[in-house]
Amino acid sequence: MEAPDITIIEKAKHWLSEDFDQETRDQVRFMVDHDHEALVEAFYRDLEFGTGGMRGIMGPGTNRMNIYIIGMATQGLCNYLIRYFPGKTDLSIAIAHDSRNNSRVFAEMTAKVSAANGIHAYLFEGLRPTPELSFAIRHLHCQSGVVVTASHNPKEYNGYKVYWEDGGQIVHPHDENIIGEVQKIKSFKEVRQHADPSLIHSIGKEVDEAYLTCLKGLSLNPESNLKHQDMKIVYTPIHGTGVYMVPEILRRFGFNNVINVPEQDIPDGNFPTVYSPNPEEKSALTLALEKARETGAELVMASDPDADRIGVAVRDSVGEYRLLNGNQTGTLLVYYLLKNLYDQKKLKGNEFIVRTIVTTPLFNEIASSFGVKTYEVLTGFKYIAGIIREKEGQEVFIGGGEESYGFMVGSFVRDKDAVSACALFAEMAAWAKENGMTVLELLESIYIKYGYYKEHLISITKKGKSGVEEISAMMERFRSQPPETLAGSDVVMVQDFQVRKAYDMISHLRYDINLPKSNVLQFITSDGSIISARPSGTEPKIKFYFSVRTQVKNLLELAAAGKALDERIKTMVADMKLDS
């Protein structure tokens, strides 16, 4: 490999100064002298806040997660808080972390820098779920919050997600303003570190109890739970933060037969039993499924390391376990919530749900049938939290979700929450059982009533600097040469969220998109199919989402319709030439 650009070398040499610890200096020196490829990857850019905050591979460098990047990010956050809340003498930040390697160290650095800036730091005594951090911000009346996590990413990653006083992740203009403050800091010397110990407060059981009490209040059918309290449920936290909270809330909902996966109950940032701790991937549930077969469990649930995503498998009519995707899990939860609120006469006409633009439109169909509005937002729960904040005091949020295995119920948490989702999914399964249905039979009945929707995701990983360039070129190709037909159906609408314009390919009229700017393209065909292209904001990936639909009259038509939809998706993928 040729010598790195001089600016990269200069950035790296700065990390050889005594501002950095000896181990960091040794690692950077080795890259400068012997590993130019690693040097470029570590220093070619500075980590930025994306849809989920700042996330990256751990190690030395400006493009890596380490205590120095954490320190500078926190100093920038503190500078912004002090500027945004002038004269407020009791500023405070809630801080949590997951089970990843270095997460506790990063969280302690965050608390230290916060306290050094005169800001109270409420640091959880140990690992806690991301949704509990969101809850704690509002519970403790903090102005901001930070959770150290890389969610479901591989073990090499860690992250730093920033929240605002409403409990939601930062959005415009706070995100851009915080980035601006961080970018002003040119050296780690500018980071304040001499903390007043009295400003660092350990939190734990009191917040846990308040959070669990609010979760318990979400239950809609305690009687069904009691009748089916012995329903066998296998749950795994996949070495993460759900290890206490999820089994505890299941017990409080009334379920007494929660079966754990001992090998995965141990918090471990190396995630030794899985290739990736991502409940979206079947392999992550291998041990849980083995335990389910061994015990005859009816339901299998898993959460990712920071317990904000839920993976589910349910037993079918022949005793096999079928994994549900995020759209199916969300569909079942939306239907369960609205159906029971309607039957219990709790809907007053001012309720709403939220889905992201790449989540199944089936949410809309279900909500409409119960007289409930659906709002559509960009990918990321910070946008769902934004709608809740905007409508607060006028309309009531019921629930919301995205296809990537995230769901949220109620407004006391402002981020996706696998703890509440696990509890309510178990309750939904008990309710279905009480009504003579399995979970799969309930899902099939929804398809027959509202339409058979199928979704498919293709995720293409392009690592490093060259990968960023490849993803950019791929988006430019689709932007300049959108497909005219997909699977024999004309593309009738192209929506470009980057320029916030929709193009009607039939009338050639243009329409404004009333959502924030985002690098997303959508192609809508004459048969109602929706294909979305979106580079990830937190991973070196570009994702393609396919959503197709058809109508079915009865159970006999489901199998054939499913095969036809699968074939339509397969043809669309080929038409998109994603392997070229």
Question: Do 400 and 418 sit in the same domain of this protein?
Answer: yes
Tell me, what's the pLDDT at 48?
Answer: 75
Asked if 327 and 349 count as a contact pair (C-beta separation under 8 A), the reply is no
Tell me, what's the pLDDT at 405?
Answer: 96
Question: Do 515 and 440 sit in the same domain of this protein?
Answer: no
Domains of the chain: total: 3
Q: Is residue 15 part of a domain?
A: no
For the entire predicted model, the pTM comes to: 0.94
Q: Which residues of 493-526 are buried (b: 16+ CB within 10 A; e: fewer)?
A: bbbbbeeeebbebeeeeeeebeeeebbbbbbbbe
Question: Do 190 and 277 sit in the same domain of this protein?
Answer: no
Residue where a domain terminates, one of 402, 435, 450: 450
Q: Residue 508: which CATH number?
A: 3.30.310
Tell me, what's the pLDDT at 46?
Answer: 82
Question: Do 249 and 339 sit in the same domain of this protein?
Answer: yes
Strands across the sheet with 92-97, in order? 54-57, 157-164, 144-148, 92-97, 120-124, 200-203
Residues ≥6 apart with Cβ < 8 Å to 463? 540
Question: Do 336 and 373 sit in the same domain of this protein?
Answer: yes
Q: What is the DSSP letter of 462?
A: -
Q: Which domain holds residue 373?
A: 233-450
In whole angstroms, what is the distance from residue 291 CA to residue 266 CA? Answer: 16
Tell me, what's the pLDDT at 187?
Answer: 86
Question: Do 102 and 72 sit in the same domain of this protein?
Answer: yes
Tell me, what's the pLDDT at 2?
Answer: 59
In whole angstroms, what is the distance from residue 492 CA to residue 345 CA? Answer: 41
Residue where a domain terminates, one of 416, 431, 450: 450
Q: Is residue 228 part of a domain?
A: no
Name residues of the chain where pLDDT drops below 50.
Answer: 51, 580
Q: Is residue 274 part of a domain?
A: yes
Question: Tens digits of per-residue pLDDT, 195-232?
Answer: 999 999 999 999 999 999 999 999 999 999 999 999 99
Tell me, what's the pLDDT at 580?
Answer: 46
Q: Residue 256: which CATH number?
A: 3.40.120.10
Q: Is residue 10 part of a domain?
A: no
- Closest by CA to 460, choosing from 539, 551, 519, is 539
Q: Is residue 28 part of a domain?
A: no
Tell me, what's the pLDDT at 183?
Answer: 84
Question: Do 372 and 432 sit in the same domain of this protein?
Answer: yes
Q: Is residue 440 part of a domain?
A: yes
Active-site residue set: 151
Question: Do 377 and 475 sit in the same domain of this protein?
Answer: no
Q: Is residue 151 part of a domain?
A: yes
Question: Do 433 and 312 sit in the same domain of this protein?
Answer: yes
Tell me, what's the pLDDT at 148?
Answer: 98
Question: Do 277 and 397 sit in the same domain of this protein?
Answer: yes
Q: Is residue 257 part of a domain?
A: yes
Residue where a domain terminates, one of 182, 203, 224: 203
Question: Do 354 and 498 sit in the same domain of this protein?
Answer: no
Tell me, what's the pLDDT at 109?
Answer: 98
Question: Do 184 and 262 sit in the same domain of this protein?
Answer: no
